[in-house]
Amino acid sequence: MTTILATLTFGLILATSAINPKNNACPKFNQYPLATLNPKCYVNPDVFSDVVQVVTRNGYNVKTHSVVTDDGYILTLFEIWGKFKNESKNFTVFLQHGLLVHSGVWVITGRRSLAFYLADLGYKVWLGNIRGTLYSQKHVNLTVNDPKYWNFTLDTVAAKDIKTQLRFVAKTSGLKIHYIGYSMGTTIGLMFLASSGQEDTKSLQSASLFAPVAYLNNIIALQLIETPGYLFTKMLTLLNITGLFYQEKLIHRVLVSVCKRIPNVCFELLIEGIFGKSTHFSSTDLLLYFGYWPGGVSVNQIQHYLQLIKSRKFQKFDYGPTENLKEYGTENPPTYNLSRIKLPVCLFYGENDAFYKKENLERLYNELGSSQKCKYPIPDQTRDYDHVDFLFANSIRTDLYPILTETLADVETK
């Protein structure tokens, strides 16, 4: 009897010690509902952490900077440099996030994080944050609860946020800049490069574009959502709702709580259903992902993408004939002349990306005015990255980063 009691007591102690209600990362999706009791699940401290916390916890140096655009938006940039005393590069890197996220996506996946990978190579790394996202929600006069705050388009972000941040990085670092954009970061990067003069682009050394989004023609899924999406954004405008998802911390906590209970539904509906089928996304990153997505966005930004789908052009925002005449001097919005881009540009794409179409990528590539340009399917052999894989793929250090660093080194020596 004593032996039985001792065994039961020992088993109870082991079971109790394995209980952790804070567990938020599991090796398999079906383990999340009982993550509290599963010894294979664990606590990932980066879920809900801010950029400074994550960078510091990983042993890197970080400094926070603020800049103000000429229309009053206060933007936050993070400057990151390596933890080792290795030789510094004579170039710096600026990373621009995509739609519905902020700069945290460049640091939250540990050793897989691009910001840390580049810092280890000796680069000073700068993380940009556009207006409306978590770290750039301040304004000299307005608040995010004011509808006027959200009166901006992709054109605005490209012309003001990108320009202001790059000028600050160039002035502060004194170095030439490699621009690396992801998703919307590629859209606004191309818009900036195609519409800016020599004075604004002279500090740039190259542009690397992950999962590029410019032309969105003949993508069936996008064509299906174009009309209902337009009607939805019109309704929001009539209701004077001009910004979405900017209550980020609340939204993320709700999503993490829900997705812990129905992980497969969240993955299949909110990740694969939106961005394409992934064979590289790890289940351990599920709640980490929803701890950062979605983020603040203006209704006009969404409308702008819907217009790109409908128009089949890479053009400026369409305000309607009357307002277009006031804004542009023509009834139709002008297109961006990509042949004006002379900077070395490299496109990195995945054929499982929901926003990828070969003809669109080829059109973008061919219209670029760069004499030094390249394009790479990722991974090189299977070519099966989806949109999210460019941030979260398990094998990203071997699939993407070596090719990226080769292209950076190539333009640094010319």
The CA distance from 136 to 218, in Å, is: 34
Query: Could you give the CA distance from residue 376 to residue 374 in angstroms, rounded to a whole number?
Result: 7
Does residue 387 have an active-site annotation?
Answer: yes
Catalytic, out of 97, 178, 252, 387: 387
CA dist., res. 183 & res. 154, Å (int): 12
CA 63 to CA 245: how far, in whole Å?
27
**Cα(250)–Cα(24) distance, integer angstroms:** 17
Q: Is the peptide bond before 321 cis (omega within 30 degrees of 0)?
A: no
> Residue 10 corresponds to which tokens in the numbers above?
């020992």
Is 183 one of the catalytic residues?
Answer: yes
Given a contact cutoff of 8 angstroms between Cβ atoms, the answer to whether 285 and 392 are in contact is yes
Q: Whole-angstrom Cα distance, residue 323 to residue 414?
A: 45
Gap between the Cα atoms of 211 and 218, Å rounded: 17
Helix (H) or strand (E) holding 78: strand 73-81
DSSP for residue 214: S
Other beta carbons within 10 Å of 390: 25
Tell me whether strands 345-349 and 204-210 are parallel, antiparallel or unpaired.
Answer: parallel
| 238 token code pair | 């009539």
Residue 315 pairs with which residues in a beta bridge?
335
Instruction: Give strand pairing partners of 19.
Output: none
Integer-rounded Cα Rg, in Å, for the chain is: 22
In DSSP terms, which residues pair with 124 in a beta bridge?
Answer: 92
Which residues, listed in sequence order, are joined to residue 376 by a DSSP beta bridge? 348
Residue 196: what are its φ and ψ, rounded to 5°?
Answer: -100, 155
Q: Which two tokens stand for residue 271?
A: 């990740």
Question: Which is the catalytic residue, given 161, 353, 386, 389?
Answer: 353
Strands 345-349 and 373-377: parallel
Q: Encoding tokens for residue 227?
A: 């009309």
Provide the β-strand partners of residue 225. Answer: none
Catalytic residue among 183, 195, 208, 370: 183
Spatial separation of the C-alpha atoms in residues 53 and 46, rounded to whole Å: 8
Q: Would you please indicate which residues are annotated as catalytic (active-site) residues?
A: 183, 353, 387
